[in-house]
Amino acid sequence: MPQKAIKNVIINAINCFKNNTKLLQWPLAYFLPLPVVSTELVSVRSVQEGVFARLIFYWLPVSIFFRIFVDIIFMSFKMKKILSTIVLIFTVSCGAYAAANVRFHNEATDTTRINEILIETAAKNFKTSGERNAFIARKFIATPYVAGTLDQTPELVTVNLDELDCTTFVDMVLAMSFTVGEGRTSWRDFVYNLERMRYRGGEVNGYASRLHYISDWFVDNIHRGNIEDATRLFPKVNYIVRTIDFMSSNRDKYPLLADDDEFRRIKNIEIGYRSHRFPYIKTVDLGGKETKAAFREGDAVALVSSLKNLDVSHMGFVVFENGEPYLLHASSSDGKVELSQRPLADYMKRNRSFVGLRIARLKN
């Protein structure tokens, strides 16, 4: 429908050109790959029969399309109406796309709250993305911990501010922060960035397109310029090698892997993470003075699992209290988003299921 409607707008625009051969000659000469073009060579009728429309839809970038119509607006009053129609068509199309690809827990309250958080964060004019992260993350303290909120069919960009696990807590905060960093404060922009960060290549394409493994999340988002791996900037960096295949090895733990096609896709992804080498900071080194000083407020941290076929099993943010780094995270044991009772180094020492952590920072 959008293409058909826009094509009709173009035909109407051409009708405006009928009595102004100079106006018609200018866009044709601009577009057509011919040495000399005039209205004698290309009649209005032939244009109406589809030549001009095909050029617009298949040969020209959208930016040129708008440039032409913005220039024409000063030549003809009628074109103002046409331009408004085009803007309306694109707006409705984008809105329909967003609605069709998003699953809200409560659309009315979620969209309102997202807008409020984005506007409030933007007004603070934070100097770093990390400060934005920490400010936004604190907004979710005491939010109930609920696992598996994304595991629904079909796979859509799911937004649920009322129930969070460690991963959805981190990716939603980062997407909000990234949106503010772009100078945007709309929930639609947040949803766009959430999809960009949560899915391979920035697009939803089934269950396996979600970046389940955090190593996969690092690789994909670094490649597309969303984050940087700040682990390498720390004074005591070590490297670990893992063959990551926890999901396919524990298929029964993931109900959506009952689908054979999705299971095969996950297996294919895991092939790329055989003997995968990545940097991390050992737990024993987290208490050092230099390491503490290297942390920044709002650093996203991925806690490296002690399991041999899994890379990361928990996530959160670093926030400072009295000069000490703490972990702000969605805790499964306490059932809510909270600040760790002990400093990060002590928290890690008391949890033997972790051997260290990685650090991610937004690029904007």
Smallest CA-to-CA distance from 325 within 306, 344, 308 is with 344
In this prediction, residues 70-83 reach a mean pLDDT of 51
**What gap in Å lies between CA 361 and CA 55, rounded to an integer?**
43
Smallest CA-to-CA distance from 255 within 155, 158, 151 is with 151
Percent of the chain at pLDDT exceeding 70: 73
> How does the average pLDDT of the chain come out, rounded?
83
With cut-offs at 50, 70 and 90, classify the pLDDT of residue 101.
confident
Residue 234: is it exposed, middle or buried by C-beta count within 10 angstroms (0-12/13-18/19+)? buried
Smallest CA-to-CA distance from 164 within 187, 148, 188, 177 is with 148
Look at residue 10 and tell me whether its pLDDT is greater than 60: no
Q: Are strands 336-339 and 354-362 parallel, antiparallel or unpaired?
A: unpaired
Q: What is the pLDDT of residues 223-280, one digit of tens each?
A: 999 999 999 999 999 999 999 999 999 999 999 999 999 999 999 999 999 999 999 9
Identify the pLDDT of residue 31. Answer: 41
Q: What is the pLDDT of residues 183-201, one digit of tens each?
A: 999 999 999 999 999 999 9
With cut-offs at 50, 70 and 90, classify the pLDDT of residue 22.
very low
Smallest CA-to-CA distance from 321 within 337, 297, 349, 294 is with 297
Look at residue 58 and tell me whether its pLDDT is greater than 70: no
304 DSSP 8-state letter: E
Smallest CA-to-CA distance from 357 within 317, 326, 312, 308 is with 312
With cut-offs at 50, 70 and 90, classify the pLDDT of residue 32.
very low
Question: E strands, the chain, where?
Answer: 102-104, 157-159, 227-229, 238-242, 276-282, 300-305, 312-321, 324-331, 336-339, 354-362
Buried b (16+ CB within 10 A) or exposed e, 162-198: eebbbbbbbbbbbbbbbbbbeebbebbbbbbbbbbbb
Identify the pLDDT of residue 188. Answer: 97
Task: Classify the phi-psi angles of 51: left when phi > 0, otherwise alpha if psi is within -120 to 50, otherwise beta.
Answer: alpha
With cut-offs at 50, 70 and 90, classify the pLDDT of residue 71.
low
Is 0.85 surpassed by the pTM of this model? Answer: no
At 96, is the secondary structure helix, strand, or coil? helix
Token pair belonging to 86: 């085009």
Asked if residue 173 lies in contact with residue 317, where contact means CB atoms within 8 angstroms, the answer is yes
Smallest CA-to-CA distance from 204 within 155, 158, 243, 241 is with 155
Look at residue 143 and tell me whether its pLDDT is greater than 90: yes
At 139, is the secondary structure helix, strand, or coil? coil
Task: Classify the phi-psi angles of 180: left when phi > 0, otherwise alpha if psi is within -120 to 50, otherwise beta.
Answer: alpha
**What gap in Å lies between CA 338 and CA 354, rounded to an integer?**
19
In this prediction, residues 43-50 reach a mean pLDDT of 37
Look at residue 85 and tell me whether its pLDDT is greater than 70: no
Widest Cα–Cα separation across the chain: 83
Smallest CA-to-CA distance from 273 within 317, 221, 217, 229 is with 217
Identify the pLDDT of residue 63. Answer: 52
